[in-house]
Structure 1
Amino acid sequence: MKTLKIYANPFIAIKLANNKVVLLLLVSISFLIDAKAQSDILNQYVQEGLKNSQIIKQQQFSLQKAVYALEEAKALFKPNVSFNTTVSAAQGGRKIEIPVGDLVNPVYTTLNALTNSNKFPQISNSSEQLVPKDFYDLRFKTTMPILNAEIRYNQAIKQEQITVQQTEIQVYKRELVRDIKAAYFNYLKATEAVKVYENALKILQESERVNESLIKNGSANPTVLVRTRNEIAKIDAEISNAKGNQLNAAAYFNFLLNKDFNANIQIENLNTSLLDLNLEDGHREELDKIQAGININKQLVGLSQSYKKLKVGASLDVGSQGRFAQIASADKNFFSPNAFVLVGVSFDLPVYSFGRNQLKVKQSEMDLAALDTQAQQVKNQLALQTEMAQNSLSSSKKVFESKASQISTAERYYRDMLRRYKEGNLSFIELLDAQTQITTAQLQQSISLYDVWLKWTDLERAKASYEIK
């Protein structure tokens, strides 16, 4: 009777009733590169990471801050109303002498003589402090810019800063998508390494059983059993190290998802199909960020040139001025006759500043020229990144295909060596070498498998092919 056995490494074999393993088919594992055909589990993890990312939430706050800054810039064109009050009290200081008595008393004396009465009493000269002894100034002040180029440029700069922050969020999202996928593939790689070493342990344990049987029959030296158990101890150590790497890979993956480090990770077998290297080219937000920076510097050039433009503003003051004694007076109203209304229009036009403003303009123009040059450099860097990622993916795919064929050879070589060893025609060292070749081939093939996925992830990032919602 024939039974089917699926191995942990990516090939299919048939185990016959006589326990002879015959390799039937080696499947060349490659991938569905289109994002729609990718692992549903991995896509769910990506969306979960984007949703839970604390850094994205922080950047969302920064974006909202930029929106508020724009609203603040727009509000600068609207009237500003403030309430101002000044209350002062003074003692001493210069005085103004007012000779009221000297001027009026002779007239009053004459009038009393003419009327034969004392209706016009004599008065004394008076003096007033130049600094008022008690004084208040209460007003509502309203100011409003009518013509101001600086405010207009400031508003345009704030608008571009929103664009910069939006592109920052998109760029980070793409980086996070790549990191999550890479962490997932590294976890699968570590998991597969554990499986490979466990398979190697099973082979060594089978060798131990065979050696024990040969020693009982007097066909083998007992020292081979010591060597076998020594190799088993080495593989146990490798398994412990591989499991440690697996735990670290899981912790980092869960960290990116903002989950408990020990949270369970679902594993889905990768789809196999003809590898498609032609990913669609997406839009790189880095270029938008550079363009927004150029736009900001253009506005800064305009802002530095606005010194030549006239500024016009308007103001309105409504309030009351007077002395405290007038407030306490019963026959005086607080606002009348002390109330006042003051309307003003201001004009500001710089005339000469010894070239300082022109030098500021030159500095802004140099910043703009530097950004223009940087934009072309970034375009070249992005193109180089895509080209290198494409080449790396092609190379890693070829390496994987070559490693897959090596497994078949190592399996066949080991079976031949095991048969000869049982017949007594082969030393144990040679059999052990064949066992090591199987483990090495399986491990290298597993590494090359996930290296292809990792290189593909780099290409997807370089081309910005993943659709960010």
Structure 2
Amino acid sequence: MKTFFLNIVSTIRANKRLWVLFLTLAKVSSTSAQSNMLNEYVQEGLRNSQTLKQQQFSLQKAVYALEEAKALFKPNISFNTTISAAQGGRKIEIPVGDLVNPVYTTLNALTNSTKFPQISNTSEQLVPKDFYDLRFKTTMPILNAEIKYNQAIKKEQISVQQTEIQVYKRELVRDIKIAYFNYLKATEAIKVYENALKILQESERVNESLIKNGSANPTVLVRTRNEISKIDAEISNAKGNQLNASAYFNFLLNKDFNAKIEIDNLDTSVLNLNLEEGHREELDKIQAGININKQLVGLSQSYKKLKVGASLDLGSQGRFAHIASSDKNFFNPNAFVLVGVSFDLPVYSFGRNQLKVKQAEMDLAALDTQAQQVKNQLALQAETAQNSLNSAKKVYESKASQISTADRYYRDMLRRYKEGSLNFIELLDAQTQITTAQLQQSISLFDVWQKWVEVERAKASYELK
């Protein structure tokens, strides 16, 4: 029985040292003090995140969209050609014979010759039988407010995407840390149960010896083995939780689900330090949205502004039959240059444009109101996260006190058991209370860490690189 008692005492002392470590204050930064290993995992997760890579693609797409908007002010050159052939349709009758033949007859009579033959009337097909229109068309806006506002909107959309990336990074940092603590929580639970199992196995060996010597009732052994079965089941459940926690943690790091997770010592002194307030990117996102809506208001009001554009056409058009019968260059006979300047100024649209402006103004007003609401929500998130952390610390302190109480209770039960005034079932119950207290304290410690991570996220204290 001596070994059995020593195992209990050593377990209690180990948890007391953990408690003392928790109360020790050290002036260290909140990022480096947690765990160098954990910070390395966080950086690995930020590097390997597939979602972040997707968002980087979206950011690059927004950059390309801005470049496209800038290119709208530059000339646009296109090549257009039309080749047509037609048969039938309306015709234009041309009475050439009726007009010319009397003159030709008179001339032949005067010259006493047949130099002027008679010709027939003719007709021309209204739709050309063979026709081509070939041109290089150049257009360029000179004055267009819509293009200017569109360019400004694309620029703000880049800011929105950049803040989206920063927000996701903070969310990923929080998820990785919480997943890491969940893994440590499951690992620590396994250790507590395995320690309890060793104590019960030692108790089983001692009770078997006592029964052989006639100093104990055989039912004591039955109860011990029953408790061993329960602990075995708890260990299996804890290992399942550990596997799940490990798989999720590795998933966040984009690694194999069964990859080994290194466990580093955690400096609990950081839990008592006040985290500094950082800048919440969500506010930048809201502000970028407001800026976009301001540009949309300007865009809707741009209908009142004059639009000026210029165009230049270089080309050739005509009939293939004429070209085929001509000895000149293909383009020269029918080449043309066409220069144009366009002006567009709406006069009246029965109020449609003004209503569009009103709609854009209402969207902007709604977003301004939302900005204040988001500020309040972020402040509330930070406040509730800090309150939850304070409560978790108090729970941890109470669990440490419970271990001390369970220790005293067990020693009293042990003394009475040695004196023969207590049965083994009551002693086993005291030992179970210590195991439960140890497990609850371990869980409560990692609950404190997780609440601390929530505060870090709510205050945006983690320094993103």
Question: Do the two structures share a fold, i.e. TM-score over 0.5?
Answer: yes
Deviation at 1:208, TM superposition (A): 1.4
- Which residue of 1 is the match for residue 148 of structure 2? 152
Q: Which of 397, 402, 421 in structure 1 is aligned with 2:398?
A: 402
Deviation at 1:350, TM superposition (A): 1.1
Q: Check 1:206–1:309 CA distance in 2 against 1; reply closer, same or farther (3 A cut).
A: same
C-alpha distance in structure 2 between counterparts of 1:345 and 1:274, whole Å: 71
Q: Which of 172, 196, 199 in structure 2 is aligned with 1:200?
A: 196
- Which residue of 2 is the match for residue 243 of structure 1? 239
Counterpart of 1:137 in 2: which secondary structure?
strand
**CA contact under 8 A between 2:193 and 2:435: conserved in structure 1?**
yes
- Which residue of 1 is the match for residue 457 of structure 2? 461
C-alpha distance in structure 2 between counterparts of 1:142 and 1:64, whole Å: 30
Asked if 1:88 corresponds to 2:97, the answer is no
Q: Which of 433, 436, 440 in structure 1 is aligned with 2:436?
A: 440
C-alpha distance in structure 1 between counterparts of 2:13 and 2:46, whole Å: 35
Asked if 1:370 corresponds to 2:370, the answer is no
C-alpha distance in structure 1 between counterparts of 2:464 and 2:312, whole Å: 52
C-alpha distance in structure 1 between counterparts of 2:18 and 2:52, whole Å: 47
**CA contact under 8 A between 1:90 and 1:131: conserved in structure 2?**
yes
Q: Percent identity?
A: 86
Q: Which of 207, 220, 224 in structure 2 is aligned with 1:224?
A: 220
Deviation at 1:103, TM superposition (A): 2.4
C-alpha distance in structure 1 between counterparts of 2:351 and 2:49, whole Å: 50
Q: Check 1:341–1:80 CA distance in 2 against 1; reply closer, same or farther (3 A cut).
A: same
Q: Check 1:216–1:337 CA distance in 2 against 1; reply closer, same or farther (3 A cut).
A: same
Q: Check 1:9–1:341 CA distance in 2 against 1; reply closer, same or farther (3 A cut).
A: farther
Deviation at 1:309, TM superposition (A): 1.0
Deviation at 1:413, TM superposition (A): 2.6
Counterpart of 1:337 in 2: which secondary structure?
helix
- Which residue of 2 is the match for residue 178 of structure 1? 174
The one-letter code sitting in structure 2 at the alignment partner of 1:80 is N
Q: Which of 391, 407, 410 in structure 2 is aligned with 1:411?
A: 407
**CA contact under 8 A between 1:407 and 1:442: conserved in structure 2?**
yes
C-alpha distance in structure 2 between counterparts of 1:48 and 1:313, whole Å: 53
C-alpha distance in structure 1 between counterparts of 2:10 and 2:322, whole Å: 101
**CA contact under 8 A between 1:84 and 1:138: conserved in structure 2?**
yes
Deviation at 1:26, TM superposition (A): 5.1
C-alpha distance in structure 2 between counterparts of 1:187 and 1:248, whole Å: 8
Counterpart of 1:141 in 2: which secondary structure?
strand
Counterpart of 1:340 in 2: which secondary structure?
strand
- Which residue of 2 is the match for residue 19 of structure 1? none
Deviates more, 1:349-358 or 1:414-423: 414-423
C-alpha distance in structure 1 between counterparts of 2:324 and 2:415, whole Å: 122
The equivalences for 1:309-324 within 5 A come to 309-324=305-320
**CA contact under 8 A between 1:28 and 1:401: conserved in structure 2?**
no
Deviation at 1:9, TM superposition (A): 6.5
C-alpha distance in structure 2 between counterparts of 1:138 and 1:384, whole Å: 68
Deviation at 1:187, TM superposition (A): 0.3
Asked if 1:134 corresponds to 2:134, the answer is no
TM-score, L = length of structure 2: 0.94
Counterpart of 1:27 in 2: which secondary structure?
helix
Deviation at 1:232, TM superposition (A): 0.6
Deviation at 1:382, TM superposition (A): 0.3
**CA contact under 8 A between 1:144 and 1:313: conserved in structure 2?**
yes
Deviation at 1:105, TM superposition (A): 2.8
Q: Check 1:78–1:11 CA distance in 2 against 1; reply closer, same or farther (3 A cut).
A: farther
- Which residue of 2 is the match for residue 163 of structure 1? 159
- Which residue of 1 is the match for residue 69 of structure 2? 73
Asked if 1:234 corresponds to 2:230, the answer is yes
Q: Which of 100, 118, 123 in structure 2 is aligned with 1:122?
A: 118
C-alpha distance in structure 2 between counterparts of 1:192 and 1:291, whole Å: 45
Asked if 1:260 corresponds to 2:253, the answer is no
Q: Check 1:26–1:454 CA distance in 2 against 1; reply closer, same or farther (3 A cut).
A: closer
The one-letter code sitting in structure 1 at the alignment partner of 2:218 is P
The one-letter code sitting in structure 2 at the alignment partner of 1:72 is E
Whichever structure has more helix as a proportion of its residues is 2
* Structure 1: unaligned runs, 5 residues or longer: 14-22
**CA contact under 8 A between 1:10 and 1:27: conserved in structure 2?**
no
Deviation at 1:189, TM superposition (A): 0.4
C-alpha distance in structure 2 between counterparts of 1:38 and 1:7, whole Å: 29
Q: Check 1:431–1:140 CA distance in 2 against 1; reply closer, same or farther (3 A cut).
A: same
* Structure 2: unaligned runs, 5 residues or longer: 1-5
**CA contact under 8 A between 2:164 and 2:285: conserved in structure 1?**
yes
Q: Check 1:109–1:373 CA distance in 2 against 1; reply closer, same or farther (3 A cut).
A: same
Post-superposition CA distance 1:53-110 (Å, at most 9, x none): 0100111111111111111111111111111111111111211122222323333333
Asked if 1:282 corresponds to 2:278, the answer is yes
Asked if 1:427 corresponds to 2:406, the answer is no
The one-letter code sitting in structure 1 at the alignment partner of 2:22 is I
Deviates more, 1:116-125 or 1:402-411: 116-125
C-alpha distance in structure 2 between counterparts of 1:198 and 1:159, whole Å: 59
Q: Which of 22, 27, 33 in structure 1 is aligned with 2:20?
A: 27
Deviates more, 1:30-39 or 1:310-319: 30-39
Deviation at 1:7, TM superposition (A): 9.2
Post-superposition CA distance 1:260-303 (Å, at most 9, x none): 11000000121243743311111100000000110111111111
Counterpart of 1:29 in 2: which secondary structure?
helix
Deviation at 1:36, TM superposition (A): 2.7
C-alpha distance in structure 2 between counterparts of 1:138 and 1:173, whole Å: 55
**CA contact under 8 A between 1:280 and 1:463: conserved in structure 2?**
yes
Deviation at 1:308, TM superposition (A): 1.0
C-alpha distance in structure 1 between counterparts of 2:182 and 2:238, whole Å: 12
Q: Check 1:358–1:121 CA distance in 2 against 1; reply closer, same or farther (3 A cut).
A: same
- Which residue of 2 is the match for residue 389 of structure 1? 385
C-alpha distance in structure 2 between counterparts of 1:358 and 1:48, whole Å: 53
TM-score, L = length of structure 1: 0.93
C-alpha distance in structure 2 between counterparts of 1:289 and 1:420, whole Å: 68
Q: Check 1:303–1:212 CA distance in 2 against 1; reply closer, same or farther (3 A cut).
A: same
The one-letter code sitting in structure 1 at the alignment partner of 2:383 is E
The equivalences for 1:339-358 within 5 A come to 339-358=335-354
The one-letter code sitting in structure 2 at the alignment partner of 1:74 is K
C-alpha distance in structure 2 between counterparts of 1:398 and 1:188, whole Å: 21
Q: Say what the alpha-carbon RMSD is for the aligned residues.
A: 2.1
**Count of residue correspondences:** 457
C-alpha distance in structure 1 between counterparts of 2:10 and 2:78, whole Å: 77
Deviation at 1:412, TM superposition (A): 3.4
